[in-house]
Structures are given as structure tokens and as C-alpha cells.
Chains A and B, each alone.
Chain A
């Protein structure tokens, strides 16, 4: 037959035929079986773009950073569009000074679990400050944002319960649900109608988990509709405000406050690594709630507590957030500027309506070439591709900061739009 003459042997595939998802599952009789295929693939993938990940930064994550290029070894001075640090706080003198003093006083680490010897006065001060800021009775701290979701969800939910997660939920939410051993149901992204369909007829304890701002698309949760559906079905609501605490709402408490739903949402979770540029996570709520989580949040009490210098720096950072609401205004002004300029240049930023701004490349084959050119022309930001986002939805993810100057943002627009045009990915 004609077709049979095409080929007699299995063709060798190029590295671009594969991605991380191909190396996760592999049946066989040795857990090491996937190592060699992955190593062979990565040896090709790294020089072809994956080297752009984990490039060592050699300076503070301000709006300008020194980065060692993983491919050439050269150190580049780049405009930083990749670090969270949405309010530009982590490198402020007051924050650094507080951390330095804490190092002098406490040394490096907490040297213990928070429920044993690892809670210091500075931790209590931080949790009180966060509770006050969030206008909640109490706050419980976690060593990372990841552990906050994992620890909180698994503290509250059990086998036989049902957790409803947005399909774009952060891995920490998914892992919390796994640890809880609850049935996990995913609803379509930001889709209250699908949530309604999934909730219908489900009995027992139910928790709906959403995020204030979704980290890959930068879109805001449609919280009013989600709350209405969840309440009608008797489900409790957890909002992860990792990317929205200290930014959204009249007082910066988050997206729940932004929508006037602070009291309607049952559980408020946040992180210190995004807006404050620090480390750690927290859950706010009633004293009864935080006492319970303190007792059953395994990721918290089986970890060492936050390093006291970090906690001290966060206390200072939170003071800045309180004292300088103009930082939020500056951030939103920068976001508006960048949105307008990208629109004028025909650059697609997807569904973003926050400081998380994806530059949609929408071309898995070209995203690394685009990212490489962008870095060579002076910008620090990483490509995001499948499986972190759906196929053909590759992007460069920008984190806008209040610290960016308009000149820096304008340079970023010129570089990005120019590269996209060269690659035929943006109209002239």
C-alpha cells in the first residue's frame, strides 16, 4: 500500500515533542527508569531555552537586578519584571534594619517547631499585626505560603468531605486536598455555573477554594457569584489571597474586601512572599479557628518556624504598608500605564486585570526564542509554557511593582513589542 512505503522505523523525536508532563508517569519495575529519558531530554531542552529558569540573581530583587546568564555565564544588568515584591518593600532600609537587628538579637533561625520552642516574641508581634491589618480576631503563621494551604486545608477537611477547587488552583491547594484525603472536584476556571453543577446533590462537609488573583493569568476571582453559589449549597469558602493581600480593597486587605465580602468568606489565607517580598504564609479568622489550625495544621508544627529575622522584617514591612497607602496607588498607576501601553502596541495580556500580567506569546515553539531575545535586550522575566499553562498558551509573566518607574515600564513595552513583532507574534 502507498501509505506503508512512508516509513519503516519509528522516527526519532526532537526535544520539542516532549515536555515535563511526559516524564511524570512511567510504569515499570524501577523508580529510576525515568531518570535517563529525562536527562537525555533535558540535555537538549536546557540550551534551547530551559536555561532561562533558575538563573542566579546576584543583587537585591529591586527593579534592576544583576543576573548570571545560565547559557553564557555573563552577568547581565536587567530590568526586573519577574520578582513578586509588588510593593517594593523587601529591600527598604527599614525592613533590612529590622532584620539585621533581629539577627543580632536572635541569630539565624527559630531552631524549633512553632508549637514547641520555635515561637519568639517577634512571631507573636507579626501575627497580631497581620490580624489587625486583616481586621480579624486572630492569625496563625506558616513557614511558607505553600505550607499554609497544605496545612490549613488538611487541618479542616477529612476523608468523606468534598473540596471544590478552581481548575487553575495553585499546587498548594491541590496538595492540601490530597493530604486531607477528601474527594476533590475541580470546576471550570472562574465559572460559578460549573461550580453550581458540581455542588448540586453533594452532601456532607463542603469547602470551595478560590484564589483572589490567579497566578498565571492575573485575573481576579468572580467572588460575588462564587460566594452566592457556595452559600446556597451550604459550602464554606476559602480564599487564597497570595497575590492580592496588601493590594486590593480600600484597606488593602484583599479581593474579598475589594468586593465587600470580607465577612462572607469563611477562611482568609495569604502569603508574605508576594506583596511584601518576604517569606511565609498565614491564615486569619476567629480565635477558635486559629487555635484549631494551630493544633491540626501539620505542615506548620512539623516545620521549623519562620526565621525570626524574616518575621522582624515582615513586621517592619507591614508597618510600611500601613503608613504608605500611596504604594498601592502607585502600583495601580503602574498597572494602568502598562495596560494602556501594551494595548497601544497591540500586545496581548490575556484576561489580566491585576499586577500579574502575562504577555501572551501563544506559541509553544517560539516562546523560548522570544524570552531569550527579551533577556538579551535587558529584561528579566521568564517564559511560562505547557504544562504550567495549557498548550499554545505560552507567555512571559510580568510582575508589576510599585517600585517600577514609568521609564522602566516603557523600556519593557518597547523591548517586548519589538521582539514579538520580529517573531511575527504581534501586529506592527
Chain B
């Protein structure tokens, strides 16, 4: 039986951006419900990882997600929030094949370039695919505290719907100062988003450093 799977990271920068619920619903399977920040306004998140340790070595990863309703069960720990990653891209083929096989995550099927540029109090993640820019996101810091937070990730493919419980540990900064920025470029990578309707300013910026991402074994869900 598969045990816990761990990924050590140097940093993970994440921005939460408002986008129309109707766009979220176009991305999500019908049985997964988007969270609404306001009526009609859901949440797109982009997370860029710089993994330093894993079963497939160091690599970079970008995760494009919709924030969704977590699955709550009596007696089980309550997650901080839940994601539906609709597109994942990695800098190495080994990382991509590992994640597809183990986590059923939908991937961009070619290596991408991900660079992190540290500012005085911010980090900028740039993603390029096929030699063209895809996304550029700047996330700022606030105060740093060690945390251990539980998240849920839903995945869906032809074989079924899956749930991964993920614990993120490490130094953590989170704020809603609206100081960050996102630029998404016209590119097939971003085809599921109506770019003009994705906010360029994150309402929430999360940044983790020197951390550990731990996946519990994948659970297949029964869906109608």
C-alpha cells in the first residue's frame, strides 16, 4: 500500500485571483462546486513550486487551480481549503510522469521553464512553454510564521474522481494587501481562462519557504 509521499521545496508562491464563476464551472466537472468569493465571482489560483527534494529529484512546477468546496467528514481533520488543479506543468519529464501516474493530475505534456526572481520582499515566478511566456506572477510577503496546514486536492480523469489530502509545512506568509500582480499571456496553456476576466491583482497572496509537502495516499471518490 502506498504510504505518505513527500516533496521538499525551497519555495511555493501562490496567488488567489477573482474570476467569473461561469468560467470556473466551465473548467470543473459538474459534481465539483466552485467556492464563490462574492456572488458570481470564484477563485483562480496559480501556484509555482521550486521543489528541492522528491522521488524524481529537484524540479519546478506550476499548478493552475480552481478553489472548490472541501470534502468534510465527521471526525476527520478540517482542511483549510480545497483545490481542483486543472493544469499542471513541470520542468522535467520524470516529474510529469510521476505526477500523472501517482496523482492523476492533468498535465501540459512538455517541459516548461519556471524561474523565480527574489525581490527585497517579493518573489516573481515566470513560466514559459514552447519558448513563449505563459504567466508572470509577483507575490509579496507579510509576516513569516511556521505552519502546518491541511489542504485537499481533487482530481478527475476518465477513470474517476480522486482526492488527495496534502499537508503543507514550512515558513508561511499570507496576506490580502493586494500588492501582487499577475500577467497571463495569450497562449494555448491559458485557453481555459477568459483572460480579460481574470483579476490581475491577487486578493490573497500566500508564500511558503523551506517547506515540506506531504501527500496522503490517494482516495478514489464515489460520484454520481
User: Which of A's residues lie within 8 Å of B, judged by CB?
Assistant: 1-4, 6-8, 10-13, 17-18, 22-23, 25-28, 33-34, 36-37, 41, 165, 167, 174, 177-178, 183-186, 188, 390-393
Residue of A25, A37, A177 contacting most chain B CB atoms (<10 Å) = A25
The answer to whether the Cβ of B73 comes within 8 Å of any Cβ in the partner chain is yes
Number of A-B contacts (CB under 8 A): 103
The answer to whether the Cβ of B92 comes within 8 Å of any Cβ in the partner chain is no
Report chain B residues within 8 Å CB of A2.
8, 53
Number of interface residues of B (CB under 8 A): 45
| A1:B6 contact, CB within 8 angstroms | yes
| A393:B40 contact, CB within 8 angstroms | no
| B71:A27 contact, CB within 8 angstroms | yes
Picked from A27, A37, A185, the residue with its CB within 8 Å of the CB of B40 is A185
Report chain A residues within 8 Å CB of B82.
27
* Chain A residue nearest in CB terms to B150: A10
Binds A, one of B93-101, B104-112, B167-175: B167-175
Binds A, one of B117-125, B129-137, B141-149, B187-195: B141-149
Report chain A residues within 8 Å CB of B78.
18, 22-23, 37, 41
Report the separation of the CA atoms of residues A366 and B188 in the bound assembly, to the nearest whole angstrom. Answer: 46
| B4:A8 contact, CB within 8 angstroms | yes
Report chain B residues within 8 Å CB of A8.
4
Report chain A residues within 8 Å CB of B18.
186
Picked from A12, A26, A165, A391, the residue with its CB within 8 Å of the CB of B175 is A391
| B212:A7 contact, CB within 8 angstroms | yes
Report chain B residues within 8 Å CB of A4.
6, 8, 53, 212
Q: Interface on chain A toward B: helix, strand, loop, or mixed SS? A: loop
Picked from B69, B176, B203, the residue with its CB within 8 Å of the CB of A27 is B69
Report chain B residues within 8 Å CB of A25.
33, 35, 69-70
Report the separation of the CA atoms of residues A316 and B150 in the bound assembly, to the nearest whole angstrom. Answer: 56
Report the separation of the CA atoms of residues A204 and B163 in the bound assembly, to the nearest whole angstrom. Answer: 42
Report chain B residues within 8 Å CB of A177.
39
Report chain A residues within 8 Å CB of B175.
391-392
**A149 CB to nearest B CB, Å:** 13
| B74:A392 contact, CB within 8 angstroms | no
| B177:A27 contact, CB within 8 angstroms | no
The answer to whether the Cβ of B115 comes within 8 Å of any Cβ in the partner chain is no
Report the separation of the CA atoms of residues A186 and B40 in the bound assembly, to the nearest whole angstrom. Answer: 9
The answer to whether the Cβ of B80 comes within 8 Å of any Cβ in the partner chain is yes
**A160 CB to nearest B CB, Å:** 14
Given A3-B6, A392-B175, A22 and B80 contact (CB-CB distance below 8 Å)? yes
Picked from B77, B203, B212, the residue with its CB within 8 Å of the CB of A3 is B212
Residue of A33, A185, A391 contacting most chain B CB atoms (<10 Å) = A391
The answer to whether the Cβ of B72 comes within 8 Å of any Cβ in the partner chain is yes
Report chain A residues within 8 Å CB of B142.
392
Report chain B residues within 8 Å CB of A26.
69-72
Residue of B18, B40, B52 contacting most chain A CB atoms (<10 Å) = B40
| A391:B174 contact, CB within 8 angstroms | yes
